[in-house]
Amino acid sequence: MIVDGQDQRNINKASELLKAGELVIFPTETVYGLGADALNIESLEKVFALKARPKWDPLIVHLSDISKLEQFVEAVPDKALKLAEKFWPGPLTLVLRKKKIVPDLVTGGRETVAIRVPRNPVAQSLLRQFGGAIAAPSANRFQQLSPTTALSAFEALGKPNVMVLDGGPCEVGLESTVVMIEEKATKILRPGGISREDIEQITGQSELNLGVAAEAPESSESPGQSSFHYAPRTPLKLVDLTDIKELILRKGNKRLALVAIGPNEHVERLRDRVEIHYLSKGEHDLVTAAANLYETLRIIDTKGFDFIICLRAPESGLGLAINDRMKKAQHGYF
Ligand code: AMP
Ligand code: MG
């Protein structure tokens, strides 16, 4: 059932449920998460089962604050610490060498664990009340769209018998940026709510490590980055403006939805052939566009279109993460 996440009585109840080994769905500033006690194997098993998530895809562990970090990880590289100090609480996940206490089920058997301190007030209240670490992947079935409202989380998991803390729509709306600091390199394993430019302000140059063969995601550096993910049911393609006209022509009389960042004269000219869905009111407002991306795709998915065409965003700021998600949402025959 969905309950008010701002009511402390519900936070207390949710915390009790987590301690008793149950799951709780809660908001973070990125997307809604399906939370479990990160040290309780039986609870973790329930997460994988409800999400139909393969065990090789590791979970992100959420902490209330940076002081809890040392309980779960070995020495933190200097640059990682600087990133944590700058961007926590917030949509940054750090992949760090784990301590023994972290179960293999959380990390997919890796020596590293992904950790984040979220800033959403409901997530913060829950983490503080619970006191421990909450492992929480997005509250949706494997490879489907991540939910950014309480209702879409509840529905995405098939209306499970799990408490859903409602904290309103997610502020960022895209998953966290996953970063791993190595001796010689800063690797961005997943672009997300903190831009590459912001990361590089702290670390200097970074590498984008996104390329993963779809056939073997389990052996990749960041398994969740497999090339199909975050997808609506309707066939979807990411295109550049220059390719749209040809694609529309080729689709003859099919029902097409077009997703674009914001109003633009080139897109407006296509209005008689496609239903346009702008993610923001401004052509360059990537922050609002990111916040609306998943919910827009989810709504389009219920409207019976034959195809969704997504127009590529500029590759800067949150545009990198928006394009990454739209690219991974691609499927179907075009
Ligand atoms: P989410 O699906 O938002 O819960 O994010 C989990 C993703 O974080 C995984 O699919 C991986 O891509 C990444 N991740 C989690 N743990 C690790 C780890 N130990 N090493 C590398 N990437 C990780
Ligand atoms: Mg996910």
In this prediction, residues 159-180 reach a mean pLDDT of 98
Contact 199, 180 (CB under 8 A): no
For 34: left if phi > 0, alpha if psi spans -120 to 50, otherwise beta; the answer is: beta
DSSP-derived 3-state class of residue 132: coil
pLDDT above 90 covers a percentage of the chain that reads 87
Q: Which domains does the chain have, with CATH numbers?
A: 2-219 (3.90.870.10), 236-328 (3.40.50.11030)
Number of H helices and E strands in the chain, helices first, is 11, 15
Q: Which residue, among 27, 139, 136, 135, has the nearest Cα to 72 in the 3D structure?
A: 135
Ligand 1 midpoint to CA 224 (Å): 6
Instruction: Indicate which atom in ligand 1 lies nearest the CA of residue 108.
Output: 19
pLDDT band at 218 (very low <50, low <70, confident <90, very high): low
Is residue 80 within 8 Å of 188, Cβ to Cβ?
Answer: no
Ion ligand 2 residues within 5 Å by Cβ: 138
Q: How many CB atoms lie within 10 A of CB 303?
A: 12
In this structure, the residues whose C-beta lies within 6 A of any atom of ligand 1 are 57-60, 95, 107, 110, 112-114, 137-138, 175, 178, 189-190, 221-225
pLDDT in tens, 232-278: 999 999 999 999 988 988 888 899 999 999 998 999 999 999 999 99
- Mean pLDDT, the chain, rounded, equals 94
CB distance 206 to 325 below 8 Å: no
Burial 234-258 (b: 16+ CB within 10 A, else e): bbbbbbeeeebeebbeebeeeebbb
Q: What are the pLDDT digits (tens) for 290-330? A: 999 999 999 999 999 999 999 999 999 999 999 999 999 99
Tokens of 267: 């897109």
